[in-house]
A and B are shown apart, each in its own frame.
Chain A
């Protein structure tokens, strides 16, 4: 697999949110506004890249039996760095993401990439893999948060998109039920497109 495919698979065929449906807690919780989603995306991508690179570097020294605890320690260290960094330099973002920054530790995607990719591949390939996954994740949560912010509070990145109160925003989209329903419908749309493509491909054969 060349680097380009390795990068693109995280965005399309193996998108962590829409295809693998992993690590859903922050996806549901912090997508109330686009700025939150972008902040979370950057933090998440950083953790993914750092942990993948470090684990790929030390993969030959870790005994097979204790590899999972070792990975978790590496990930938790990177997450702590991000946590303290955001607390110092992006406090309002840190406040609104709250508990979901430390919870990146238990995100299945990070551990999943460490186990499935970084433990078997070289440093550069692991870096590309993490970058692709991180970008795919960021794009996915940005899409969800765009739907929720536009429909729920009538804004995009804080800018009013429905001037003169043309449309009354439905606040259900920014509270808990909206998160589940938005994600459910987006997944259904993506599934529908996938099935259509699969059928077309079959018809060609």
Chain B
């Protein structure tokens, strides 16, 4: 795969196959942590960090250990253990080395274990039989796309908070409808590649 194709893959991962708006992965934190743009940035950065790291680890473990030993069916169990291990390790590591970043990301890290985007991307990487470089580009692209969407979404929600909307639409219902409209906008990107 040449550089041009890799750039195309990255763009398609960020915009066209946006993990949240077209593949519905990571909806819980998307709805839960997007009330303030500050926390959305924190969550977005934490997701980029964890998805990239855990994708590299799960890909390596799958192709170097599980595949040669014919243990492919163990992948769900192994991947979820790796991901929760990575999250725990990242949390401890950041706490020791960079207290400032820890203050910003700390509370979002434990939430990421149950973010299905992490396990989802790890499984997609295997299903699509990416090689190492494609896998890294795709994982970074997907997580950047997620961070972008959660940030944009949170800025819209901050304004919606002050808008006079019907009582029964407040909170999650209006958030879902906004997500639907954003998703329509993202369909437009399908034409760029």
Which B residue's beta carbon lies closest to that of A29? B24
Contact of B127 among A73, A99, A192 (CB under 8 A): A99
Q: For the complex, is A28 an interface residue (Cβ under 8 Å from B)? A: yes
Closest to A183 in B: B176
Determine the distance from Cα of A7 to Cα of B27 in the docked complex, in whole angstroms: 27
Given contacts A99-B124, A192-B168, is CB(A25)–CB(B176) below 8 Å? no
Interface check A76, CB cutoff 8 A:
yes
Q: Which of A49-57, A79-87, A155-163 contacts B (4 or more CB under 8 A)?
A: A79-87
Q: B168 touching A103 by the CB < 8 A rule? A: no
**B176 touching A105, Cβ below 8 Å:** no
Q: Is B184 on the interface with A (CB-CB < 8 A)?
A: yes
**Contact size class for A?**
35 or more
Q: Name B119's contact: one of A105, A175, A183, A189 (CB within 8 Å).
A: A105
Residues of chain B lying within 8 A (CB to CB) of residue A183: 176
Question: For B175, what are the chain A residues with a Cβ–Cβ distance below 8 Å?
Answer: 184
CB-nearest residue of chain A to B26: A25
Q: Let me know if A106 and B173 touch, CB within 8 A.
A: no
CA distance A20 to B118 in the complex (A): 23
Residues of A within 8 A of B115 (CB): 106
Whether A176 contacts B21 by the Cβ 8 Å rule is yes
- B80: interface (CB < 8 Å): yes
Collect the chain B residues with CB atoms within 8 Å of residue A108's CB. 28, 114
The secondary-structure label for the interface of chain B is helix
B27, B84, B124 pick with most chain A CB within 10 angstroms: B27
Given contacts A187-B173, A188-B168, A191-B173, contact A77 B77 (CB under 8 A): yes
B187 within 8 A of A: yes
Given contacts A73-B77, A99-B123, A195-B167, contact A24 B177 (CB under 8 A): no
Q: Is the interface of A mostly helix, strand, loop or mixed?
A: helix
Q: Are B80 and A105 in contact (CB under 8 A)?
A: yes
| In the complex, chain B residues whose CB is within 8 Å of the CB of A80 | 73-74, 76-77
Known: A21-B31, A80-B74. A181 touches B84 (CB 8 A): no
Q: Which residues of B contact A192 (CB under 8 A)?
A: 168
Within 8 A of B (CB), among A1-24: 21-24
Does chain A have a CB within 8 A of B99? Answer: no
Q: Is A184 a contact partner of B119 (Cβ separation < 8 A)?
A: no
* Cβ < 8 Å to B, chain A residues 170-205: 172, 175-181, 183-185, 187-189, 191-192, 195
Contacts A84-B73, A176-B187, A191-B168 given: A106-B116 contact, CB under 8 Å?
yes
List which A54-78 residues lie within 8 A (CB) of chain B.
69, 72-73, 76-77
- The 0/1 profile, CB within 8 Å of B marked 1, for residues 94-135 of chain A is 000001001101111001000000000000000000000000
Q: Is the CB of A181 within 8 A of B77?
A: no
Docked complex Cα distance between A72 and B95 (Å): 25
Query: Could you say which of A29, A76, A84, A172 has the most chain B C-beta atoms within 10 Å of its C-beta?
Result: A76
Cβ of A28 to closest chain B Cβ, rounded Å: 4
A-B contact pairs, 27 of them (CB 8 A): A21-B31, A22-B28, A24-B27, A24-B28, A25-B24, A25-B26, A73-B81, A77-B77, A83-B73, A84-B73, A102-B75, A103-B25, A106-B113, A106-B118, A172-B184, A175-B187, A176-B21, A176-B24, A177-B184, A178-B180, A180-B183, A181-B176, A184-B174, A184-B177, A188-B173, A191-B169, A191-B173
